[in-house]
Amino acid sequence: VPLKRLPASSTETDSEGSVIENLFVELEAVTASQGVDERYRSAGLNRRVEENIREVEEAENRENPRTLLEDIFQRADTDQDQLLDIQELAKWIYIKITEHVSRAMSENVGLFTAIDNNPRNGKVSWEEYHAYFLRIHGFPESYISSHDKKHSDMSRTLKESIMRDRARWAEAARNDPERLALDEFLAFTHPESSHRALLQMVEDLFEKFDRDGDEQLTEDEFSDLPADRVGLDLREDRHETVGGSEDRRQEFRHLIDKNKNGKADRTELLMYIDPRHPRHAIQEAQHLISLSDTNQDGKLNLSEILSKMELFLGSKMVDTAGSFHDEF
């Protein structure tokens, strides 16, 4: 889903377009290499906001949905005017995304090491992972060591989870279908945080849409991409093609084609797909506002958010990890 109202030129006077452009520039300056405090300061936030996010994340499993949304609203509303504008919402989502990606990468090694135990050989087998899956879902060791392969007495929900895991496992396994190395394991557990998985997405884009085979995507080729091919913004209409739309072309010119040569190479597309690219946070904020802003003031009050509770609970504003895993 392309960003809305990107400025067509330096003389563009549309106020919303200017706000989005300024917000994008502000977030783009925040690099993944910065420390936490510096990253927050660069986004116009501070350590207090970081602590707020951590507190909210800790509360997510114990608070009821209404209380959770009320809490997040108050913490994201940095000017305390009881409204969330595009800047506040996008900044909150952006920090949630960067925190999620950083945490996924740092925790991956520990999880990999913990699961790789039968035997400990530097790879995680499907059997090792499946035992871990059963263990965290409360099954006793006696069942884990001697269960029937079909899990006849298991709930349908858990069976479907195993099937989804098996499909993602097959996608991540490049060398051995039954074992994953460390980088493959990250692609399995958090594809949105895996450089290797993102590179594969770029390759898939070239394979499907590089019509002239020149190893670059032109503006025309990019504008023909269906919205679900870039691992972003889960929407009801994400399977529809937005080919040739002016928004998509503006997105190519302003956000992807950094060297202004009219084409996008792998590096440019990789930066565009990376979840830490500011556009993800801005697009999510735009999407939430467009679906919830009933009084059409361009901002969200608490009542508007609570009236769309399921939408927000499944969004990157609240459930960052779950939202990404639905998309990738």
Domain ranges of the chain: 76-107+196-231+253-327
**pLDDT score, position 46:** 53
Q: What is the mean predicted confidence (pLDDT) over 42-60?
A: 56
Sign of CA dihedral 274, 275, 278, 283: positive
Q: Which residue has the higher pLDDT, 45 or 89?
A: 89
Give SS3 for 61: coil
Cα 21 to its chain centre, rounded Å, is: 21
Q: Give 187's contacts (C-beta < 8 A, 6+ positions apart).
A: 171, 172, 194, 196, 197, 200
pLDDT-based confidence at residue 234 (cuts at 50, 70, 90): very low
pLDDT-based confidence at residue 45 (cuts at 50, 70, 90): low
**pLDDT digit string, tens, across residues 122-151:** 999 999 999 999 999 999 999 999 998 889
**pLDDT digit string, tens, across residues 245-257:** 777 788 888 888 9
Cα–Cα separations (whole angstroms), residue 113 to 119, 185, 187, 233, 320: 11, 11, 16, 32, 25
Q: What percent of the chain has pLDDT over 70?
A: 77
Q: Which residue has the higher pLDDT, 221 or 52?
A: 221
Q: What percent of the chain has pLDDT over 90?
A: 48
**pLDDT digit string, tens, across residues 281-322:** 999 999 999 999 999 999 999 999 999 999 999 999 998 888
Give SS3 for 179: strand
**pLDDT digit string, tens, across residues 9-37:** 444 445 666 777 788 777 877 644 455 45
**pLDDT score, position 14:** 56
pLDDT above 70: residue 244: no
Q: Which residue has the higher pLDDT, 236 or 50?
A: 50
Nearest to 89 by CA among 325, 244, 312: 312
**pLDDT digit string, tens, across residues 166-215:** 999 999 999 999 999 999 999 999 988 888 889 988 998 888 888 888 99
Cα 303 to its chain centre, rounded Å, is: 26
Question: In the numeric block, which tokens belong to residue 116?
Answer: 């790789």
**pLDDT score, position 318:** 93
- pTM metric for this prediction: 0.74
Sign of CA dihedral 221, 2, 196, 185: negative
**pLDDT score, position 178:** 96
Q: Give 214's contacts (C-beta < 8 A, 6+ positions apart).
A: 263
**pLDDT score, position 19:** 77
pLDDT-based confidence at residue 80 (cuts at 50, 70, 90): very high
Question: Most confidently modeled of 43-47, 102-106, 202-206, 261-265?
Answer: 261-265
Q: How far apart are CA 229 and CA 153, in angstroms?
A: 37
pLDDT-based confidence at residue 62 (cuts at 50, 70, 90): low
Give SS3 for 32: coil
Is the bond into 119 cis (omega within 30 degrees of 0)? yes
- In one-letter notation, the amino acid at residue 268 is E
